[in-house]
Amino acid sequence: MTLADKAIAWYDDNARDLPWREPGTSAWAVLVSEVMLQQTPVVRVEPAWRGWLTRWPTPAALAQDPPSEAIRMWGRLGYPRRALRLHACATTIVERHGGAVPDDLDRLLALPGIGTYTARAVATFAFGQRHPVVDTNVRRVVSRAVQGLADAGAATTAADLAAMADLLPVEEARAARASIAFMEIGAVVCTARSPKCAVCPLATDCAWRLSGAPAPSGPTRKVQRYAGTDRQVRGLLLEVLRHATGPVPRQRLDMVWTDEVQRARALAGLVDDGLVEPHGDQFVLAGDAPPAGEVQSL
DNA sequence: GACACGTGGTC
DNA sequence: TGACCAAGTGT
């Protein structure tokens, strides 16, 4: 049995019941799940995903609403630029692909907010194609089981994809199944902090285990601080704008953070990113109605 | 390749 | 209790 065979056999019996894995899930729903799952735990994505798909079952439905509604619906999932990009995705899919999520890698990759991982994930999980799909879970599993290293080093896309390609079964459907299986093992068994080697289907082949499960060697990847950063300020500003029913005066935004320089920088960043629109001294989420009386430019 | 980019849970 | 971690992308 190959590593992929063992992973698939394990997955057949142990896969979590995640809603986007149910047969018949649309490519759009899969795409939305993949974007939401970027850097975000499954438990927080599930309810958000259901709400999103209930409101916007198709790209066309989302494209009919302004970006501001997408940003509101995103709630506190984090990285709200993803909501904006998902909206742009929907618009592009309607305008350039007749409302249907494209099924080939290049066209997926061209969509806003869809990078190497997500394009491959959609092509594989929504359309059943055979592609290496490499996320942080897969990188960790391959790093341990194949390379014998405690942790994956910095991402090196080409090499990571090649390493995964070597493990992929030839047959298309099995290849797709192997990809999700390796991801699942990384997510629930071969975890970052305390891998459950006792129940791992790859344990008997795992190069890392076979060499005595050595501790990680190199420098530890640095974790980005959050408290006190622009990101925190952006989050506070956006939180106010999400709940606003109309334009928000600058004075209202001034209350969320005392450091004026940082506050201004964070707000300017949100405007730069297209999440927020300034109307004189008032602000709205992108696409929301401007202050009454203002002449809208075309 | 390094950084910026949210948020909340865990140990 | 603060560091670490969670299906990345864009610059």
The answer to whether the C-beta of A232 is closer than 7 A to strand B is yes
> Which of the nucleotides lies closest to A275 (Cα–C1')?
B5
The answer to whether the beta carbons of residues A93 and A87 sit under 8 Å apart is no
- Averaged pLDDT, groups of 10, chain A, 298 residues long: 97 98 97 98 98 98 98 98 98 98 98 98 98 97 96 90 97 98 98 95 97 82 84 98 96 96 98 98 97 70
The answer to whether the C-beta of A172 is closer than 7 A to strand B is no
Report which of A112, A82, A111 is spatially closest to residue A238, judged by C-alpha positions. A82
Q: What is the CATH number of the domain that holds A40?
A: 1.10.340.30
In this structure, are A3 and A31 located in the same domain?
no
Q: What is the pLDDT of residue A297?
A: 58
For residue A21, being part of any structural domain is answered with: no
Q: Widest CA span of chain A, in angstroms?
A: 72
The answer to whether the C-beta of A220 is closer than 7 A to strand C is yes
For residue A291, being part of any structural domain is answered with: no
For residue A296, being part of any structural domain is answered with: no
> Which of the nucleotides lies closest to A233 (Cα–C1')?
B6
Measuring alpha carbon to C1', the residue closest to nucleotide C7 is A37
In this structure, are A219 and A236 located in the same domain?
no
In this structure, are A46 and A104 located in the same domain?
yes
Residue with tokens 């002449």: A295
In this structure, are A219 and A170 located in the same domain?
yes
Q: What is the pLDDT of residue A295?
A: 62
- Determine the structural domain holding residue A202 and report its residue range: 1-16+132-223
Strands A282-285 and A276-279: antiparallel
**Strand partners of residue A283:** A248, A278
In this structure, are A47 and A4 located in the same domain?
no
